[in-house]
Homo-oligomer: A and B are copies of this chain.
Amino acid sequence: MLNCKKAEPILVVGSVALDTVQTPFGQAKEVLGGSATYFALAASLFTPVRLLSVVGQDFPRKYLRRLQLHSIDLAGLQVLPGKTFRWTGRYRENMNEAETLSVCQNVLGQFPEIPAHYRESRFVFLANTDPLTQLKTLEAIEAPQMVACDTMNLWIRTQKTVLKKLLRKVNILIVNDSEARMLTGKVNLPTAVWALLAHGPKTVIVKKGEHGVFLCTNGELFAVPAYPLHQVVDPTGAGDSFAGGFLGYLASQPRFTPREIRRATVYGTVVASFTVEDFSTRRLEKITLKDVETRFQEMKRILKF
């Protein structure tokens, strides 16, 4: 059974959003979303989480209470005058790709104040948000020990220079397959991964949605298929939930051996499999570490040969 006694708190910076999502299975309006939200809820299964983000005055109190229920530290979640970041998107038959219908940045462009105790965090996740915010956050941390980051096509297109500067400072890069290709100009994934390693991170993780995860750490490859689900209701947040499960597990373990990184990848995969079973964070909020452990053991059976 999983032992999380040595859990280190993780600081996550990223978006907290109100999402409106349509999938072949229905829709959800102005529901809790955002990269930092999914990450925080996923990681909080394993370890304490410190959330750094901004929301507007319209952000529903019930969502704050739901995050607090998971012992997520909200000292760094600032409520600013204005409206919360909103994302509206749609998934069609191919649930692997979101189609963005609208994005309203609103208060998200403003940099949150970093509470003093956040600066002592040794684990940091720079969830998908603009690279300048990611870099500024990282520079405010006193002695980061394990830094992971994500990004998206928009920043690769518009802020590649800052992004590359950031990559030199992170230990783990977690991106999806199209981002890996876009960042490197390489179509072949293993080749793209080698090219990304040359930018700085010791570990590069490529998320392939329903096709699982591909990883290179210390020169060793590792691959995990996704947990097989009979129904994917809403893929939103799968990647951030993966990152939360991954880094949450790592932060709860005394060592970062290649074996632990591999196990962390499977924990990330399993946590993400719950997220996509319902809209927003509904399913993710309901699970316990025991549910995660059950699917982890199932993955062991599925992958054994």
Interface residues of A (CB under 8 A from B): 93, 187-191, 208, 210-212, 214, 220-225, 228-232, 259, 262-263, 265-266, 301-305
Nearest 8 pairs of A and B residues by beta carbon: A262-B305, A223-B225, A211-B211, A190-B228, A221-B302, A191-B230, A190-B230, A263-B305
A137 to B65, CA, bound (A): 67
Q: Are A188 and B225 in touch, CB under 8 angstroms?
A: no
Given that A211-B211, A212-B225 are known contacts, is A231 also in contact with B188, CB under 8 Å in the complex? yes
A188 to B189, CA, bound (A): 24
Given contacts A211-B211, A223-B225, A263-B305, 8 further A-B contacts (CB under 8 A): A188-B231, A190-B228, A191-B231, A214-B225, A224-B303, A224-B305, A262-B305, A303-B303
A221 to B187, CA, bound (A): 30
Find chain B residues with CB under 8 A from A259 CB.
Answer: 305
Q: How many copies does the complex hold?
A: 2
A93 to B188, CA, bound (A): 10
Find chain B residues with CB under 8 A from A262 CB.
Answer: 304-305
Output the nearest chain B residue to A193 by Cβ-Cβ distance.
B228
Given that A208-B211, A228-B190, A229-B190 are known contacts, is A266 also in contact with B223, CB under 8 Å in the complex? no
A212 to chain B, nearest CB (A): 6
Find chain B residues with CB under 8 A from A93 CB.
Answer: 187
A222 to B54, CA, bound (A): 43
Output the nearest chain B residue to A186 by Cβ-Cβ distance.
B230
9 CB < 8 A contacts A-B: A189-B228, A190-B230, A191-B231, A211-B212, A212-B212, A221-B302, A224-B225, A259-B305, A303-B305
Q: Are B220 and A228 in touch, CB under 8 angstroms?
A: no
Q: Are B266 and A305 in touch, CB under 8 angstroms?
A: yes
A225 to B191, CA, bound (A): 16
